[in-house]
Amino acid sequence: MSLATVHTRAKLGILAPSVSVEVHLSNGLPAFHIVGLPEAAVKESKDRVRSAIINAHFDFPARRITVNLAPAELPKEGSRFDLAIAIGILVASGQIPKDQLGDYEFIGELALSGDLRPVEAVLPSALGCASANHQLVIGTGNASEAALVESLTVLPAKHLLEVSAHLHQRQTLTAQRPQA
């Protein structure tokens, strides 16, 4: 498969509109393009995602990679799309199965090592994710905030490899419980 769609959420004030991360791998000279009204930090995710994939011992595809953040008219800002983009590339290149992608939303910044870093304003995204009846895969630094939404299954991870193991059904992520 050379096409993958991963769900995530943008930050727009107190709203968190749904964003589809569409990843297409095609033949041609290796290139990596992000389209769909990304601002500077989103465009910089190319370097974070590439390094995280390589340092997590996955193969970074030597192909033409196009990432579309849809809907295109919605401004995208910050590093919150890193994890969704990385998962999209790994699914499109056949390194992660696509079977259950529709059940999840992914939010998190990737360190160059593949570690997941927290992002700001996760609560609106958690509320939107719960209303869409999805599970939220997020960095451990945001898990407590996201778990404030009691109807949401929050799956915190420390590293891209943990997310991969969960999607391969080798080792499941443990759901975060709300703090008492």
- Mind listing the pLDDT tens digit for each residue in 20-33? 999 999 999 999 99
- Domain membership of residue 58 (yes or no) is yes
Domain membership of residue 84 as a residue range: 3-167
- Domain membership of residue 177 (yes or no) is no
pLDDT greater than 80 at residue 179: no
Distance (Å, whole) CA 165 – CA 143: 19
If you average pLDDT over every residue of the chain, what do you get? 95
- Domain membership of residue 172 (yes or no) is no
- Domain membership of residue 116 (yes or no) is yes
Helix ranges (H only) for 16-169 are: 40-43, 45-55, 82-92, 123-131, 143-146, 160-167
Count of structural domains, the chain: 1
Residues 138 and 123: beta-carbon distance below 8 Å:
no
**pLDDT tens-digit series, residues 122-174:** 999 999 999 999 999 999 999 999 999 999 999 999 999 999 999 999 999 99
Residues 16 and 52: beta-carbon distance below 8 Å:
no
- Domain membership of residue 50 (yes or no) is yes
Read off the CATH number of the domain in which 95 is found: 3.30.230.10
Q: What tokens does 117 get? A: 């870093």
- Domain membership of residue 154 (yes or no) is yes
**pTM here?**
0.97
Q: What is the pLDDT of residue 1?
A: 59
